[in-house]
Amino acid sequence: MSIASLGYVGFEVSDAGAWKIFMEDFLGLMRGAEDNEQVSYRMDERAARVFLLHGSRDDVALVGLEAPSVTGFEAIKASLAARGVSFTQGDEDLKAKRHVADLIRLKDPMGLDVEIYYGPTELTNRPFNSPAGVSSFCTGDQGAGHVVLASEDIDAVRGFYVDALGFRLSDTIGMKLAPDFSITLEFYHCNPRHHTLALAGMPAPKRLHHFMVEMASLDDVGFALDRMAACGVRQRTTLGKHTNDQMVSFYAETPSGFEVEVGCAGIPVHDETWRVTHHEAASMWGHKPVGA
């Protein structure tokens, strides 16, 4: 049994004030429940899609992976146990904080907290309303978005997500980062989103290179581009179109230093017909560095 989607992601952040502006005024996520440890943000009917945890790490702190069902949740636990992968049961306090019926916690080979859960809370009685006027975010069966992780031990990380959790290769991109340094980025899906997870086998100051939120239309992305200056957000790339998922997007710097990709119009992957390919560039056009 495989993971159904990236249900939520959590960042440990040091500058709560800057992140509030970033999340609400720039990205247009809706503030949800909060306590003295965390603030939750909504992108849709779910109670939480992003958690900001107060701390000094300024990196991704956790990923929440959704099981497709109660039986799927039990099957994933059995599969992990059979592989000798240890996990702990989430207590009532953690279930309430994450707004889920049940969850387990484990660490991936990078030391990142992975939470596998079922039964997320939906707040259809309190409809999503973007404070920045984003028409909607593309979530549903494609989950919250995608994360791109960097690790020197990519074999171990790949083994965890592919062999133990059922992520499937979508394609690869070869990137020449310097005249004598090239890497191959690996893109993995667990539902029709082209990639929920991408892996870069390289040393990096943070585990997270970027996370991606997909908006409903090109106009939503354009309005977000226009909001950057007023929100004091630093643009990292121009608008561009990726070669593999064909996402039209731009990159901006979060108050924690890692990046966010704001995009639209990514193509879906269907396992019955999809063929794994390789690309020699990350972008068809655009995505040029800004202010580098």
44 vs 261, which CB is nearer to Fe ion? 261
Q: How far apart are CA 160 and CA 107, in angstroms?
A: 10
Q: Which of 261, 262, 269, 283 lies at the binding interface for Fe ion (CB under 5 A)? A: 261
> Which segment (96-104, 216-224, 255-263, 274-282) binds Fe ion by CB under 5 A?
255-263
The 3-state DSSP class for residue 9 equals strand
Q: Between residues 67 and 212, which has the closer beta carbon with respect to Fe ion?
A: 212
Q: Nearer Cβ to Fe ion, position 186 or 261? A: 261
150 binds Fe ion (CB under 5 A): no
Only one of the segments 93-101, 162-170, 257-265, 272-280 lies at the binding site for Fe ion (rule: CB under 5 A); that segment is 257-265
The secondary structure of 108-138, three-state, reads CCCCCEEEEEEEECECCCCCCCCCCCCCCEC
Tell how many helices (H) and how many strands (E) occur in the chain: 5, 19
Site residues for Fe ion, 179-218, by CB under 5 A, read 212
Residue with tokens 């870069």: 200
Tell me the number of residues near Fe ion by CB under 5 A: 2
Which single residue is written with the structure tokens 């990923």?
Answer: 63
User: CA-to-CA distance for 113 and 64, rounded, in angstroms?
Assistant: 9
Closest CB to Fe ion among residues 23, 212? 212
Interface positions with Fe ion (CB under 5 A): 212, 261
